[in-house]
Amino acid sequence: QTVVTQEPSLTVSPGGTVTLTCTSSTGEVTSGYFPNWFQQKPGQAPRALIYATSKKHSWTPARFSGSLLGDKAALTLSGVQPEDEAEYYCLVFYGGVPIFGGGTKLTVL
Amino acid sequence: EVQLVESGGALAQPGGSLRLSCAASGFTFSSYWMNWVRQAPGKGLEWVANINEDGSEKYYVESVKGRFTIARDNAKNSVDLQMNSLRGEDTAVYYCARGTTGVPGADYWGQGNLVTVSS
């Protein structure tokens, strides 16, 4: 069974840049797995940020960007704001089956 | 405005059943895949099931196959999750989420509905 792994936690300073990654136990994460990224704050439903590797939803702030870095999917936050402190989840599709990563807790400090 | 409102969550006994519903509005419901995603207390997200636009394709995570059934009613703009033979590990907040147009994904999410399985 495919396991999708993310950094458990990351810390970034306000105004800084941070990259979160998403890796697969079965090998390279490619665009064919349609990586998605979601933000979730405590007590709230997840909010979609990125789909199909790098496409933004109409509500996604410009400071969020998605990409592929080597064999991983990546979410980069540039010019981090205090309100970006949250849990971030990647979602990839293996053989059409959606699999979430374990999440990255991002602290802005 | 797209809205997804879940209902039906409650306390159920192990081995029992519950039916979750998700009422959709603000978009052409029959044009979208729909998903159910759950989150156990203090844990991450887990995709549970999805259904295509006309209900002819349904997919489930392995752990719920044979116990859960997803169904939709395009006339009523709703998608249901019938949960039978419930187990303690099914305890979670269940979210209804709309599929992203044209590519795999989930763009709009409901507020979530808590299902607790306990004796």
DSSP classification of residue B30? G
A51, B59: Cβ pair inside 8 Å? no
Supply the pLDDT for residue A56.
Answer: 98
A51, B50: Cβ pair inside 8 Å? no
Nearest residue of A to residue B5, measured between CA atoms = A45
Distance from CA of B95 to the nearest CA of A (A): 8
Listing DSSP states for chain A in one string gives ---EEE-SEEEE-TT-EEEEEEEETTB---GGG--EEEEE-TTS--EEEEETTTEEPTTS-TTEEEEEETTEEEEEEES--GGG-EEEEEEEEETTEEEE---EEEEE-
Q: Which of B45, B61, B103 sits opposite A46 (nearest CB)?
A: B45
From chain B, pick out residues whose CB is under 8 angstroms from the CB of A45: 95, 109-112
The tens digit of pLDDT for each residue in A38-90 reads 999 999 999 999 999 999 999 999 999 999 999 999 999 999 999 999 999 99
pLDDT higher than threshold 90 for residue B1: yes
Listing DSSP states for B88-116 in one string gives GGG-EEEEEEEEPTTSS-EEEE---EEEE
Percent of chain A residues past pLDDT 90, beyond the cut: 94
Percent of chain B residues past pLDDT 70, beyond the cut: 100
Q: What is the mean pLDDT of residues B15-25?
A: 98
B59, A97: Cβ pair inside 8 Å? yes
Amino acid (one-letter) located at B85 = S
pLDDT higher than threshold 90 for residue B15: yes
pLDDT higher than threshold 90 for residue A1: no
B49 vs A: CB within 8 A: no
Average pLDDT of every residue of chain B: 97
Beta pairing class for B3-7 and A4-6: unpaired
* Closest to B49 (Cα-Cα) out of B74, B75, B72, B16: B72
Interface of B with A in 89-118 (CB under 8 A): 95, 97, 100, 103-112
Supply the pLDDT for residue A23.
Answer: 97
Size of interface A-B (CB pairs under 8 A): 65
Average pLDDT of every residue of chain A: 97
> What is d(CA B19, CA A107) in angstroms, rounded to the nearest whole number?
37
Enumerate the β-bridge partners of residue A21: A74
> What is d(CA B94, CA B112) in angstroms, rounded to the nearest whole number?
5
Q: What is the dihedral sign for C-alpha B90, B35, B110, B30?
A: negative
Distance from CA of B40 to the nearest CA of A (A): 12
Beta pairing class for B58-60 and B45-51: antiparallel
From chain B, pick out residues whose CB is under 8 angstroms from the CB of A46: 37, 45, 95, 97, 109
The tens digit of pLDDT for each residue in B29-80 reads 999 999 999 999 999 999 999 999 999 999 999 999 999 999 999 999 999 9
Supply the pLDDT for residue B74.
Answer: 98
